[in-house]
Amino acid sequence: MKEEIPLSKIGVLAISDRASAGIYEDLSGKAIIELLNQYISSKWEYEYLVIPDEKKLISKTLISLADKHRCSLIITTGGTGPALRDVTPEATEEVCDKMLPGFGEQMRQVSLQYVPTAILSRQTAGIRNKTLIINLPGKPASIKQCLEAIFPAVPYCLDLIGASYLECNPKYINAFRPSK
């Protein structure tokens, strides 16, 4: 009898002054949820929040999603640019035990194929206890490019940090787990 894979919990955190104030609808967080629905074939559920670009609030929300809601993975969108109000990478670094610079490098590398302004993106990734936190850019078009590029490494990263087991739909994502 095949052992049942436990449910994975994923936090999706849209960070935007205007979306959180209702000036426009958050499309970025919703785009992430839609992509995850394609990518992940094992059972999962999400916590979805839209908050303003306030560093303390971002940190507090990341901590709550990781420690209280026990998310294996948190994906943020927004607040990674060079503008004064863009503070998502700083808030992420503040709550993480260790950083994974390779995520930001690869996302910028991939985005550079589309726009030269990709070098302005400051997104990063890191680990808080048993939670992987990944910053995605704010624009829906870039979200797919970036998430597609990095997601093949996500399930193995969750294995390594003792988070939940994710299975992917090979039609969309070839999750890679090196043989021991």
The site for a second copy (CB under 8 A) is made up of 81-84, 86-87, 89-90, 98-106, 108-109, 112, 115-122, 127, 132, 139, 150, 152-153, 156-157, 160-162, 174, 176, 178
Alpha-carbon span 14 to 108, nearest angstrom: 20
- Closer CB to a second copy, residue 48 or residue 70? 70
How large is the greatest C-alpha to C-alpha distance in the chain, in angstroms? Answer: 55
- State the minimum distance, in angstroms, from the CB of residue 1 to a second copy: 30
C-beta closer to a second copy: residue 49 or 115: 115
The secondary structure element, H or E, covering residue 21 is none
The minimum distance between CB 69 and a second copy, in angstroms, equals 20
| Least distance CB 173 / a second copy (angstroms) | 10
Q: Which is nearer to a second copy, 2 or 171 (CB)?
A: 171
Least Å distance between CB 7 and a second copy?
Answer: 22
Strand 125-128 to strand 73-77: parallel, antiparallel, or no bridges (unpaired)?
A: unpaired
Please name which of 172, 176, 15, 133 lies closest in space to residue 80, comparing C-alpha atoms.
15
Residues with Cβ < 8 Å from 179, sequence gap 6 or more?
Answer: none
Pick the closer one to a second copy by CB: 49 or 149: 149
Q: How far apart are CA 69 and CA 35, in angstroms?
A: 21
